[in-house]
Amino acid sequence: MTTTTWPAVRVRVPRLSASAIWAGMRRQKLLTIALGILAVMIFLAAVGPIIAPHDPESVLRETLLDEQGQPILNSQGDPRTQLVNLRAPSGTYWFGTDEKALDVFSRTISAPRVDLVIAIASTIIGLGAGSVIGLVAGYAAGRGRLVGSLAEVLTRFMDIIQAFPVFIVALALVAVIGSGQDKVIYVLSFLFTPIFFRYVRAETLLVRELTFVEAERAVGNPTRRIMFNHILPNSVTTATVQGSAVMGYAILLTAGLSFVGAGVAPPTPEWGAMIRSGVELMQSGQWWTSVFPGITLGLTVFSLAVIGESIRVRWRGSGLRGY
């Protein structure tokens, strides 16, 4: 009997070096810029109110001085002060002040703590709820009269939610449950659930028919184990890829609700509310109260859109389809 000895094959595992990372960043400059912007916003969400030169929710005042530069005293002997409102950008107030004598720069760099928290929280909750409901609806579709009917009812209910304009539904829900940061998170989570539901349901309909799922049923695994241990991890990829784009959409919706007075209420720093407070002032030349928050908002949504598109392209190019 002759024994054949096969030559050893060496597999070279690629290493992630600093030069490789730098080369990748040079090839995708737009993505690098987007990641940098998002990193700055995450940093501001963590420490923005701490490093702000002024309290973002406190009114600014200055002492009145006479011609000799001495403080002007009132009848009680205390220095007289006045509001520092509608000051143009300067070395003291980098982005100027608004009509309520609040520092625009301090509020602009403090707003990510509100907007990003709302976007991240609502996206995560919507992804979790949509994934579970989509898994149940997809696995139960066409399996028995009662179970299949319930799955169909869930699907039609999600279709009804998506049939109406998102912003109008958000306004109606905020009018019912009230405004505020927590309420906006609940509303956006409810509106994002159908988005992730449809992705997970579509993937579940495909994955449940694969051979390994049939094998799991054949060996007697319970339905719950099959659904959550085997089907869900292979069905949630598409929905997860959309998370970055949904976060950008969440920031826009939050700003829109605050712009019409139905979202985060002043004096809490929030980009949409800041833009709204300065819209009428732009006609009289006080452009800074709306322009700087608007630019920051646009850059943040732009970065999330670029990152989301890059993830989607890479995911499709890898040939993955959730399993």
Cα-based angle 104, 109, 112 (whole degrees, multiple of 5) = 125
How far, rounded to the nearest angstrom, does the alpha carbon of residue 294 sit from its chain's CA centroid?
Answer: 16
> What is the C-alpha separation between 93 and 272, in angstroms, rounded?
21
241-251 b/e (C-beta count within 10 Å ≥ 16 → b)? bbbbbbbbbbb
Considering just the CA atoms, what is the radius of gyration of the chain in Å?
Answer: 27
| Collapsed DSSP state (helix, strand, coil) of residue 142 | coil
DSSP assignment string, 214-270: HHHHHTT--HHHIIIIIIGGGTSHHHHHTHHHHHHHHHHHHHHHHHTTSSSPTTS--
The H or E element containing residue 52 is none
DSSP assignment string, 75-101: TTSPBPEEE--SPPS-SSSTT-B-TTS
* pLDDT reported for residue 255: 93
* Alpha-helical regions (H) of 28-165: 29-51, 104-110, 112-140, 145-163
CB 251 within 8 A of CB 272: no
Q: What is the domain partition of the chain in residue ranges?
A: 110-322
> What is the C-alpha separation between 136 and 224, in angstroms, rounded?
10
* pLDDT reported for residue 11: 38
**Dihedral (CA of 92, 95, 99, 100) sign:** negative
**Dihedral (CA of 29, 47, 255, 118) sign:** positive
* pLDDT reported for residue 12: 46
Task: Give the CATH number of domain 110-322; options: 3.40.50.2300, 1.10.530.10, 3.40.50.740, 1.10.3720.10.
Answer: 1.10.3720.10
CB 152 within 8 A of CB 141: yes
Q: Using one digit for the tens of pLDDT, what is the confidence trace for 278-321?
A: 888 888 888 999 999 999 999 999 999 999 888 887 776 554 44
Low-confidence ranges of the chain (pLDDT < 70): 1-26, 65-70, 74-75, 77-78, 144, 316-323
Q: Token pair of 132, please?
A: 């579970």
Query: What's this model's pTM, rounded to 2 decimal places?
Result: 0.84
Q: Token pair of 266, please?
A: 């002043």
* pLDDT reported for residue 240: 87
CB 16 within 8 A of CB 84: no
> What is the C-alpha separation between 32 and 27, in angstroms, rounded?
9
- Residue 83 sits at φ, ψ, to 5 deg, of -70, 140
The H or E element containing residue 63 is strand 61-63
* pLDDT reported for residue 41: 95
Hey, how many other C-beta atoms are within 10 angstroms of the C-beta on 94?
A: 16
Q: Using one digit for the tens of pLDDT, what is the confidence trace for 214-263?
A: 888 888 888 888 888 888 888 888 888 888 889 999 999 999 999 988 88
Written as one letter, the residue type at 318 is S
CB 157 within 8 A of CB 118: no
